[in-house]
Amino acid sequence: MTDTAIVDVLRHMFLVGIKVAGPVLLVALIIGVGVSIIQTVTQVQEPSIAFLLKLAAVAVVLIVTGPWMMHELRGFIIELWAKIGPRT
């Protein structure tokens, strides 16, 4: 592989990684900020509430978007193996 092909593969890898991890991280961020605001307003400082809500939300997101994530990763792996080509 040439240098440009390696850079292209790395760029594509980072984009797929961000696209696959994005929904889970975004939901965890939104839930975490929302719970923190509610806990600040009500002055309830219980860390297990935020943890359990984030855990449940991330589980739901993984169940809903899991097949799509696997499809994206599978497509990337197939494309990567096609670019590597057969060894001679």
0.85 cut: is pTM over it?
no
Distance CA 64, CA 78 (A): 23
pLDDT at 81 over 80: yes
Judge residue 35's burial from the number of C-beta atoms within 10 Å of its C-beta, 0-12 exposed, 13-18 middle, 19 or more buried: buried
In this prediction, residue 84 carries a pLDDT of 82
Q: For 11-33, what is the mean pLDDT?
A: 95
pLDDT at 76 over 80: yes
pLDDT at 21 over 90: yes
Question: Which segment of 3-7, 22-26, 52-56 scores lowest on mean pLDDT?
Answer: 3-7
Residues 6+ apart with CB under 8 A from 61: 23, 24, 27
More confident call, 47 vs 53 = 53
